[in-house]
């Protein structure tokens, strides 16, 4: 287990400062503008690509090159400290890359992950497509279908995906679809879908927060992709489906493995927790500085216990959330999740972000409720941490099943 009694090493501190400086110099000065525009911040993402922050090398090194597993959480916390909407625009392609890594072969990983990012001169985007209009947290009810055409060795996909980050504007969409509806979530597979005929953007959502991140429907109408675009390959899929069908007949039979979507989310939950940490820390630091400067009744308001105690609890909860997040990141990196630690980190950090940003508004009073101050934006951004990649109730369900060993519904 990582020893959290010691400081970050020199490389981690250098990374933290590098990303923090980018957040200060490039993200924060334009954060309010892109939030108001509700548009994808191409200039910021292109600048991130220019310096190597938005790149397959950065994500690969952060995922595989650090034995502690902390590289990505450290970087993500600083990005989301800068701005959650822009941070998600920069990190959104990582979810597509994670979907490929979780379900694909080494050859597919090498081929498709770089295409989720492109180069500094040719920036590209990835999108991970799971949720649907009638299937959000209930991934077992996906209606998007994938049918194999033996004559051409192609898969034909039809359906509509909803709430997709980079949906419709991405160069690579990783689509989770049902191949055998009788098997529920065990009858699903993931496909790499580049920009091809039949794939289009549906409605673009106008959101409460993270407005600089593009979120839209993805419509698939008779989309054809080669058999090689099935992540993991057909032989592996056929074997998984056979085990699932056997389990239907003999419930005590061999388990058929994880759902494609859940395999991706399990790996990324500590990263989402780190996103929440960044937003919470931004609000806490701003409120702390404000409380030291704002005077009332002849002294700084931090001298009042009602304010000082709020800040004390904000700081405590952020530190607790960070320790949960770093533990989960270490365990995920080393493949030793034991008790749903990823879900614990996301659940606690998400709740912390919502609570801390709300307290920051309270400390600023009426000013905090206006758009002249950033805490109201951070509060709007924080709420999504309780929702996407599994709501807080889904995290509670996962945790309760892990600690009880029972199939709690």
Tell the residue number behind the tokens 């898969």, with chain if given.
155
Residue 50 near residue 44, CB atoms below 8 Å: no
Residues 6+ apart with CB under 8 A from 212: 31, 34, 35, 37, 38, 39, 40, 41, 83, 85, 86, 88, 89
Residue 82 and residue 90: Cα distance in Å, rounded? 12
Same domain flag for 310 and 345: yes
Domain boundary, last residue among 249, 271, 295: 249
What pLDDT, in 10s, does the model give residues 25-65?
999 999 999 999 999 999 999 999 999 999 998 887 766 66
Separation CA 407–CA 397 (nearest Å)? 9
Indicate if 136 and 52 belong to the same structural domain.
no
| Last-in-domain residue among 48, 81, 116 | 116
Same domain, 381 and 270: yes
2 assigned to some structural domain: no
Q: Is 132 a catalytic residue?
A: no
267 shares its domain with 368? yes
Q: Kindly state the tokens that stand for 108.
A: 């597919």
The predicted structure's pLDDT at residue 264: 64
The CATH number for 225's domain is 2.40.110.10
Q: What is the pLDDT of residue 249?
A: 73
Separation between Cα atoms, residue 283 and residue 277, nearest integer Å? 10
| pLDDT of 5 | 47
Phi, psi of 144 (to 5 degrees): -65, 130
Give pLDDT, residue 140.
79
Q: What would the pLDDT profile of 225-239 be if each residue is shown by its tens digit?
A: 999 999 999 999 999
Structure tokens at 71: 């590289």
Phi, psi of 107 (to 5 degrees): -65, -40
Q: Looking at the structure, tell me whether residues 76 and 132 fall in a common domain.
A: no
In the set 78, 266, 389, 409, the catalytic residue is 389
The total of structural domains in the chain comes to: 3
Same domain, 213 and 337: no
Residue indicated by tokens 């990196």: 333
The answer to whether residue 336 sits within a structural domain is yes
pTM score of the predicted model: 0.93
315 and 242 part of one domain = no
Residue 379, domain extent: 260-404
Choose one of 249, 277, 298: the last residue of a domain. 249
CATH number where 73 lies: 1.10.540.10
Residue at 270 is within a domain: yes
Name residues of the chain where pLDDT drops below 50.
Answer: 1, 5-6, 252-256
Phi, psi of 373 (to 5 degrees): -120, 145
Look up the CATH number of the domain holding residue 321. Answer: 1.20.140.10
């Amino acid at each position: 287990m990582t020893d959290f009694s010691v400081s970050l090493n020199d490389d981690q501190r250098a990374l933290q400062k590098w990303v923090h400086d980018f957040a200060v110099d490039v993200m924060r000065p334009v954060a309010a503008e892109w939030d108001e525009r509700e548009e994808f911040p191409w200039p910021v993402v292109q600048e991130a690509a220019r310096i190597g922050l938005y790149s397959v090398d950065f994500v690969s090194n952060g995922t595989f090159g650090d034995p502690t597993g902390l590289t990505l959480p450290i970087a993500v916390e600083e990005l989301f400290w800068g701005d959650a909407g822009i941070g998600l625009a920069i990190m959104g392609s990582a979810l597509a890359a994670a979907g490929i890594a979780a379900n694909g072969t080494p050859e597919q990983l090498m081929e498709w992950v770089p295409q989720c990012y492109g180069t500094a001169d040719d920036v590209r985007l990835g999108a991970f497509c799971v949720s649907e209009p009638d299937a959000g947290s209930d991934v077992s009810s996906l209606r998007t279908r994938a049918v194999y055409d033996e004559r051409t060795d192609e898969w034909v996909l039809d359906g509509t995906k909803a709430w997709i980050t980079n949906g419709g504007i991405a160069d690579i969409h990783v689509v989770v679809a049902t191949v055998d509806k009788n098997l529920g979530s065990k009858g699903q597979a993931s496909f790499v879908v580049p920009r091809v005929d039949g794939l289009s953007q549906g409605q673009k959502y106008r959101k409460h927060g993270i407005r600089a991140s593009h979120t839209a429907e993805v419509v698939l109408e008779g989309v054809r992709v080669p058999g090689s675009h099935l992540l993991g390959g057909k032989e592996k899929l056929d074997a998984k489906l056979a085990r699932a069908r056997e389990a239907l007949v003999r419930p005590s039979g061999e388990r058929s493995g994880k759902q494609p979507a859940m395999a991706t989310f399990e790996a990324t939950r500590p990263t989402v927790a780190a996103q929440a940490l960044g937003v919470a820390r931004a609000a806490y630091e701003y409120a702390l500085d404000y409380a030291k400067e704002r005077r009332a009744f002849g002294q700084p308001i931090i001298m009042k216990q009602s304010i000082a105690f709020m800040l004390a609890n904000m700081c405590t909860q952020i530190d607790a959330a960070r320790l949960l997040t770093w533990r989960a990141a270490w365990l995920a990196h080393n493949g030793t999740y034991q008790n749903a630690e990823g879900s614990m980190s996301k659940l606690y950090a998400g709740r912390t972000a919502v609570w801390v940003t709300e307290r920051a508004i309270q400390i600023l009073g009426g000013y905090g409720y206006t758009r002249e101050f950033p805490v109201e934006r951070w509060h709007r951004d924080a709420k999504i941490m309780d929702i996407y990649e599994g709501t807080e109730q889904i995290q509670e369900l996962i945790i309760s099943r892990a600690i009880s060993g029972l199939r709690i519904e």
